Structure 1
Amino acid sequence: MSDPRPSSRPTTPGAPRGETRALVVSMVGSGILGLAGVAWGAAVGSQLVLFDGVVTLAGIALVAVSMVAARVAASRPTADYPYGRHAATPLAVAVQGAALLGALTYGASEAVTVIVSGGSDAAGAAVAGYGVVAAAASVTVALLLARYAPSSALARAELVSWRSGALLSGVVVLSGLAAELLMRKDLDRVAAYLDPSLVLLASLLMLPMALGLVREGGRELLEAAAPREIADAVAAAAERVRARHGLPDPLVRTTKLGRRLYVDVGFVVPDTDWDVADEDAVRRDLGEELDGLGYDVVAGVTLTRDGRLLG
């Protein structure tokens, strides 16, 4: 098999402006909402609100990690890193997921402790009020990040975090309304278990999102096949090139590492005249086809008469 990486050595000018803007928006939003959540939770004595605030504040450190990763991934190749450091992006995504898993584990364990100790005082309307404010803020930030998510794995990771926050805020609203209803019916003892129980529920609901980030980052670091939509687009491009040059069906391999997309296309040609100039023409044609994908593409093309050489 021909390794596509030596076929070109692109340089990357810097972190995409949209990606940097998305991370700044996420960091500012995390700071404001996180501080509000911690203060509100401490004031009304709600573990659920406090949990929401702590998780959101922890996001500041994660955004900082993402900003460093964006800068590192966008740095130019060096003698030590001749293909760049694009692995910083999936590494940061995996760290985001692992940190979210840690926060969920902490919240769930604290909730179990409160339940075992007899519950906590219910705050009712005050909790619901925070939930409404936090949900509105989370949805607003998520909508802003959605503009950048299609072209940035880091922005997508932040989007997942804010969607998780919106989900948790919805649980906070339900907790406050349910607690208020129970207290009006003199069911204070039942209401005391509502807050920690919903922390457990929220942790379970957010678990797939955290695992998804870990899986996405881990797959890229292990050089798994590119996501289906990207692989399909590359296969379609290879098919158009094949048809124009009268080549047989190709063997196509694709993997993604951050914004870098590695593509290896191999053709087993018949025993006729195919030379280096023909291979160069096919490679140039494929490169033009892949330019519109929005990634930093490194493409390799192999024309061979021995299919065993394609692996």
Structure 2
Amino acid sequence: MDYGRLITAMVTPFDEQGNVSLEQTAKLIDYLIEEQKSDALVVCGTTGESPTLNDEEKLQLFEFAVKHAAGRCKIIAGTGSNNTAHSIHLTAEAEKLGVDGVLLVVPYYSKTNQEGLYRHFEAVAASTKLPVMLYNIPGRSVINMTAETILRLAEIPNITSIKECSSLDQLAEVAGLAPEGFKVYSGDDAATLPALAVGAYGIVSVASHFIGEPMQQMIHAYLEGEAAEAAKLHQKLLPIFKGLFECPNPVLVKSALNERGIEVGSVRLPLVPPTDAEAARLREIL
């Protein structure tokens, strides 16, 4: 499975009552494909506020995204959690709905060991024919899945990629030693270009809600040997990469989308909207 170079971790649009809005989801999908040049979308990832979505909402969004995208981009369903049995169940339901792959986060809170991580992902992968993207994010899951464990998992045929958010050193090690065809994606917008330089295939991005096209230009400039041009683009985009995360994600993303006329509503508790000063700061950066 090739998801392309630029994958957007899509926010989940809510209406004024805080319910999922499929009408606005349709408009957001069109905008991300047509204007921001996303190659694939992650639906119900953590940027999509997955911890506050119930299963019914997630399955509704998976089904809707597949039908509305209609082959214009790949749809990756966020089906991972710290409950292996539930991850297997949600993955099976997503597979029935026609998604192109699933994203499985490192189990959070439980703080299992490396063997527990291996067995968790092995069990979910064995339950599906879908390609699996691992998601290693120590800053949110508390534990780091080591390069050794990732490389063990990469030998499983349908574990085909990883979203890596630990360190450039670990990303480089995995990219250099993984089986042919296994793709490593950075999960840190600000590290997109450095990650490409040490072997990443692409980026699972939040900033691509706003600057997807220049990010594609930066990626392809680097791939075409125009490193200096890619560096200039990186330097220009860096304030946006950093500014979007001055509040917990996706607080500022949703606020800025609303200001641009892409109505996605607010965030669900325990997240709260930005202050006027925080919103103004991002407005200035953008």
Common fold by TM > 0.5:
no
Structure ranking higher in helix proportion: 1
The structure having more radius of gyration, on CA atoms, is: 1
Instruction: Flag the structure with higher strand content.
Output: 2
TM tier, smaller: under 0.3
